[in-house]
Amino acid sequence: MTLRKLNVRRRLARLRCFLFMALLVAPGLADDYHRGGEHWAFRPIRPAAVPLVESNWPWTPPDAFLLAHGMAVGLAPAPDAEPAVGLRRLYYALIGLPPSPEELQAFLEDTRPDRWSRRVDRLLASPRFGERWGRHWLDVVRYADSSGGGRSLIFSSSWRYRDYVIDSFNRDTPYGRFVQEQIAGDLLSAHSPAERRRNLIATGFLVIGPNNYETQNKRLLDYDIADEQIETIGRAFLGVSLGCARCHDHKFDPVAMREYYALAGIFLNTRSVVHDNVSRWYEVELPVDAAERARREAALQAVKEAEKALRAARQKLERYDGVYTSKPADPRAIEGVVIEAESAIANGEWVLSAHSARRVGEAYLHDGNKNKGGCSLEFRWTAPATGRYLVRLAYTHGSNRSKRVPVLLQTPHETRRLTVDESRPPDQGVFVELGQIDLNREDELVVTITNDGTDGYVVVDAVQILTAQEAEERARVATVVEELKQQVDRVRKGVPPVETAMGAVDKPEKELEDSPILIRGQLEAKGPLVPRGVPQFLAHVVPPLEVPDHSSGRLELARWLTAPDHPLTWRVYVNRVWQYTFGSGLVRTPDNFGTTGEPPSHPELLDFLAARFCQQGGSTKRLVRELVCSHAFQLASRTDSLARELDPGNRLFLRFSKRRLEAEELRDTMLVIAGTLDTSMGGPSLPANLRKKGVEEKQVGRLRLSRKRSVYQPLLRNLAPEYYFLFDGANTSFVCGRRFVSITPLQALYLLNDESVLELAQATANRVLHEVEGNNRRLELLFMLCFSREPTVAERQLCGEFLQDRLAEGASPEDVWAELAHALFCTVEFRYVE
Amino acid sequence: MERLNRREALQRVACGFGSLALADLFARWAARSARAATTKAPHHPPRARRVIFLFMQGGPSHVDTFDYKPTLIERDGELLSFDDPRTRAKTGKVIKHQVMRPRWKFRQYGESGSWVSELFPHVARHVDDLCFVHSAQTEGIAHGPATLFLHTGAIAFVRPSMGSWILYGLGTENENLPDFVTLNPPMNVGGPRNYSSAFLPSVYQGTPVGRAGQKLSLASFPNIQNPRYDSAHQRRHLDLVQSLNRARAAETPADADFDAVIRSYELAFQMQFEVPRVLDLTTESKETLQSYGIGDKATDSFGRQCLIARKLVEAGVRFVQVNYSNDSSPPWDQHSKIEQHAIHARAVDRPIAALLYDLKRRGLLDDTLVWWSGEFGRTPYAQDRGTGRDHNPLGFTMWFAGGGVKPGFHFGATDEYGFQAVENPVHMRDIHATILYLLGLDHTRLTYTFGGREFRLTDVGGRVVHELLA
């Protein structure tokens, strides 16, 4: 071909391409998509036939569509990517982690023709798949672990919903079912308690949104929450913003206020909030299976019995000890001899008081905290028989009482001095023990309490004397009470806790009511009532379902959304899957399929995929499998300049766009390279004390991260982990079908200086030093770990020089290798997958 | 054919089609490219290039500071009916409240004869540079809502903060520092939402330095120092990184992102010198430190913040917020013991005066807009007939200085009690519109398309208060 001819070809191709792109970015101009004001995405899905192209390039139906388009504008596909590059791409796409050097080696050595699809199947079956693809979905549903708003409350059990999402992708729940569970799981029938649990947890979708629970006008809050739910459902499932119609008919899309308030009625009749000064999200109690239920009931029965026994024993003990409580003890009901202070011999000035109810009898005496050394009380008692007696004192305690009240025990045989701390409560019912004392018949016992040298009130209520038998019996009962207390604690711990999850249920039937239209969205400006219902704007394609009087209408909404001929739900989802696989969607505004969004680059392909996905039962894994097994997925990202010039944004998918790793991938990659990734799944991301009722985000202080995958780290709306917000993690306040990709110096500072990055580099160094011998092999391992390739000659030289210089300076091999690993973490290549 | 760069090409295409989708695309593109390249043309010639916002968290009492109401002294202690917004929200009623005189004496200052109370003797000396708005109004009765409204123009919904909008509109001026910095922001009342970019690209997010209650130091800037390498070693390490990058680049075709990442490392490396230079106050003269009240226990903390703010704007940072705030309860929030206003006024008065003087002396005040405001003012009557004042969003005072506003000027007025704005009310949205205007941005044209809808800071309201402009 002459240069001239080539130029003509280029120019023609450029013109075709320009027209194609112009149509894409200028909705309204492309008549093919807009006929009679009818927007392409609202028209029925038209299953297109796979184009026939005379080429053996296509491996799958999507390839045929892409190639046909490419041929139409005169652009050929890029060459295939190198196998190692392709495999790395596949691993990141499916599980968000790089292949290990061993996995890469095994793949390259595998000569079977189906080595690719075998690897695909293995990755789809890995639990890591759900962690990666679940995270995509968590972006879409604005998942977070706190409420945001003026007071950002920490969610106690949002993690259950997160784990449900991951599990759903791993078990490949059909998409229609997945949608229904999240909107109306509580209204779906379940075949087992486990399924019922899943269904209830799924409705967490409705309540994990950013809400300002502090809002004082609770009716307004109800509408705000319903609005948030409607807007999320609109963008997540339909790719249409419905929220605008709260205040006026939608300006661009055909959503009328009527339809909005019909939908609002559905969510206002759904219980998703519990009102209080600062309100709170609703939580559902999770059911358990029969065996667990039986275990629970048995445990509760055991608690009941232990408590009963304890009560009985306590009653016995009370006969000796009285009860130190707000009701005065009756001295006549207490065993032994009880001498009240009022009948003791008083010297000095004692004040009669009934201020504290925790007393014995009518009153007690105190010294008024005065006249120290001048007051005493004598209790005199003559023993009726020879034996040993237990003497105890009753008083009412308080912080203003003396800590050292002098007590004198006198018998004909001995004199004992002791002190009582009246600032603390008595430890045996109303009494403290003064001592055991031996008396002969007719011996007189004198118990004297004085206020000598005391620094606080001295209070005296009563003295009790028990015989040896009584004392023994009391001690025995006291031991039984102690044992039973421990027993109760033990059996209580044995009761499985009632598990709850954030979720929503219908309000009771008698509370159901329709919402009026609120004019300009103002609560006070009530227009006519609108019956609850699903949106009408697709009535020509999907017949709207009637909402029965006895339910909110969520189930009907969920069924309507997942109707087999729904033009939006299926298109929106297959487009998301395409985007997560290829980097950008066939429609590049994944949450906006309305008239202000972009039209699809390949409308026939989108419809082909949507129709088939729906017909085949909505298996995400099957769809992903087809996409990653396509030829298009395995193309090189490098291409000739013509392709770059004609299709700079790669809208034709005839090469592969390299992409920046997402925040989670970046961190997980460093963890897996360092060999310190904890692969355990699920569970709360925050400790129990932070998930208690009423804890606010500002109380968290420093965020502590585990070594589990990033999807399991706490994601607080005001306090996301640093890697997450620096590397453009999804904004947790909105449906986020597509993350930004920014390049900032703050990212560079993080990779250069963050302590956790340095630690991971250190761990990587230790691993490399331990696993292989010799600097060359170590360098090769390091490159394999970081880039899935061997170092080039130039790279060997650069790293080798650095290594030698540092070692010559006396740096330790651990430090030098850590610096090398750190350098590779900082490279451009590390951040991208080709 | 003349060659267009990507941006120009896009702008032309955008004009050609007027497509909404393109605005989004354009923003994404802008977000992807390296920071240095993102300066954008304003809508009209700007009067201010930078903003320092002195945020007085909790709501200082205007009738005790800058809004002199002799009637309050005359009628001190009388029970009068006021349509208190909180009482109305809770009970729907108008009840009688006890008028409470200002606890501080007022006198006139400067050629403008501006009334200032004893609380601000130092700021008072600058009244001829200040432009007062006595008729400010806002939305939200509680701190959380009003604070979010002040910063983002929204209460229930998550929206970009003013600083983010400004960066989005003007791009970034500075290469070695982030362009939107907030000093010691509080974690309460919305926390980071007050400096978040929400749905705008995350490059427009504010960078927090320190947290409320912390002393500003080098450690307050995220990852600004390597804990293990000294700077010579770090340079050598970064040289290795960049050599590896170049070696790789030699094998791959030219790539804008590739260059942008390489560049971001060099910027980061520069920041490591620039940030300590800004945060390091030891290079400042003794007189300067003293003038800001640094070293004096009462003023040390806010003095440091103000001096660092000056250094930041001097270094070209576009939007600096200085927070006088507290994580547990907003400092200016005297529902009882209004006398405690004295503590807060003392903490901020000298540093603010020093900042104004310092900016002026350095010729920075001409194109730096200083804005002093709380999230609302306070009632002219005692709360529950006690010793403090409740929140008042119906009328309060804020002031500006420099950056194209009239010096020594007073605009608007509250009624004779200082309860409601009655003359030329200025809504917070008008303030937003005016600040954008001073920076060269038309608030009705500064829009961003998100999820199929166009958003702006002022939503469907806002009026540029031309009367304030010099």
Chain B touched by A259 (CB under 8 Å): no
Q: Which residues of B touch A640 (CB under 8 A)?
A: none
% of chain A residues with pLDDT over 70: 95
On whether the CB atoms of residues A166 and A134 are closer than 8 A, the answer is yes
Q: Which one of A828, A829, A830, A831 makes the best mutation probe of the B interface by having the most chain B beta carbons within 10 Å?
A: A828
Mean pLDDT of the region B177-199: 87
Q: Is residue B353 part of a domain?
A: yes
> Which pLDDT does position A90 carry in this prediction?
98
> Which pLDDT does position B29 carry in this prediction?
37
Tell me whether residues A596 and B20 touch, CB distance under 8 A: yes
Same domain for B21 and B160? no
* Tens-digit pLDDT profile for residues A688-716: 999 998 899 888 878 889 999 999 999 99
Chain A touched by B3 (CB under 8 Å): no
Q: Which one of A212, A742, A754, A759 makes the best mutation probe of the B interface by having the most chain B beta carbons within 10 Å?
A: A742
Domain ranges of chain A: 1-124+568-658, 126-172+668-726, 324-468, 753-833
Residue B56's CATH number: 3.40.720.10
Q: Which residue in B21, B191, B264 is closest to A598 by CB distance?
A: B21
Lowest model confidence (mean pLDDT) among A236-240, A674-678, B63-67, B194-198? B194-198
Lowest model confidence (mean pLDDT) among A17-26, A750-759, B222-231, B392-401? A17-26
Chain A touched by B215 (CB under 8 Å): no
* Tens-digit pLDDT profile for residues A309-366: 999 999 999 999 998 988 898 888 899 999 999 999 999 999 999 998 899 999 999 9
* Tens-digit pLDDT profile for residues B250-278: 877 767 778 878 888 988 998 898 888 88
Lowest model confidence (mean pLDDT) among A192-206, A342-356, A661-675, B360-374? A342-356
> Which pLDDT does position A11 carry in this prediction?
61
Contacts of A600 (CB under 8 A, 6+ apart): A40, A575, A586, A587, A606
Chain A touched by B34 (CB under 8 Å): yes
Tell me whether residues A748 and B264 touch, CB distance under 8 A: yes
> Could you list the residue range(s) of the whole structural domain that residue B142 is in?
44-216+285-468
Q: Which residues of A touch B33 (CB under 8 A)?
A: 743
Chain A touched by B272 (CB under 8 Å): yes
According to DSSP, the residues that pair with B450 across neighbouring strands are B453
B239: nearest CA partner in chain A = A823
Q: Is residue B235 part of a domain?
A: no
Same domain for B82 and B165? yes
Distance from CA of A538 to the nearest CA of B (A): 18
In chain B, which among 313-342 make CB contacts under 8 A with chain A?
Answer: 327
Chain A touched by B238 (CB under 8 Å): yes
Contacts of A621 (CB under 8 A, 6+ apart): A124, A129, A172
> Which pLDDT does position A616 carry in this prediction?
94
Contacts of A606 (CB under 8 A, 6+ apart): A571, A574, A575, A586, A587, A600
Q: How many CB pairs under 8 A join A and B?
A: 205
User: What are the structure tokens assigned to A423, written together?
Assistant: 């600032």
Chain A touched by B156 (CB under 8 Å): yes
Q: Which residue in B190, B265, B452 is closest to A150 by CB distance?
A: B190
Same domain for B27 and B83? no
Q: Is residue B313 part of a domain?
A: yes
Query: Angle A468-493/A290-321 helices, nearest 10 degrees?
Result: 160
CA angle A400, A405, A411 (to 5 degrees): 155
What fold does the segment set A324-468 form as a domain? Jelly Rolls (2.60.120)
Q: How far is CA B394 from the centre of its chain?
A: 21
% of chain A residues with pLDDT over 90: 77
Does pLDDT of A545 surpass 50? Answer: yes
Same domain for B1 and B129? no
In chain A, which among 574-633 make CB contacts under 8 A with chain B?
Answer: 589, 591-592, 594-598
Closest to A16 in 3D by CA, of A646, A604, A607, A528: A646
> If you count them, how many residues does chain A have?
834
User: What are the structure tokens assigned to A544, written together?
Assistant: 């709207």
B30: nearest CA partner in chain A = A742
On whether the CB atoms of residues A788 and A88 are closer than 8 A, the answer is yes
Same domain for B3 and B133? no
Q: Which residue in B35, B223, B234 is closest to A750 by CB distance?
A: B223
Chain A touched by B201 (CB under 8 Å): yes
Chain A touched by B17 (CB under 8 Å): yes
Measured torsion, CA atoms of residues A507, A511, A516, A517, in degrees rounded to the nearest 10:
-10
> Which pLDDT does position B397 carry in this prediction?
98
Lowest model confidence (mean pLDDT) among A60-74, A755-769, B89-103? B89-103
Same domain for B411 and B435? yes
Tell me whether residues B261 and A831 touch, CB distance under 8 A: yes
Same domain for B132 and B81? yes
Burial tier of A57 (Cβ tally within 10 Å: 0-12, 13-18, 19+): middle
On whether the CB atoms of residues A130 and A730 are closer than 8 A, the answer is no
Number of domains in chain B: 2
Same domain for B355 and B410? yes
Same domain for B300 and B336? yes
Mean pLDDT of the region B309-316: 94
Same domain for B2 and B143? no
Per-residue confidence band for B5, with pLDDT thresholds at 50, 70 and 90: very low
Q: Which residues of A touch B249 (CB under 8 A)?
A: 828
Q: Is residue B273 part of a domain?
A: no
Q: How far apart are CA A300 and CA A490, in angstroms?
A: 12
% of chain B residues with pLDDT over 70: 90
Mean pLDDT of the region B67-74: 96
Q: How far apart are CA A139 and CA A141, in angstroms?
A: 6
In chain A, which among 725-784 make CB contacts under 8 A with chain B?
Answer: 725, 728, 731, 733-735, 740-750, 752-755, 758
Q: Which residues of B touch A697 (CB under 8 A)?
A: 187, 191
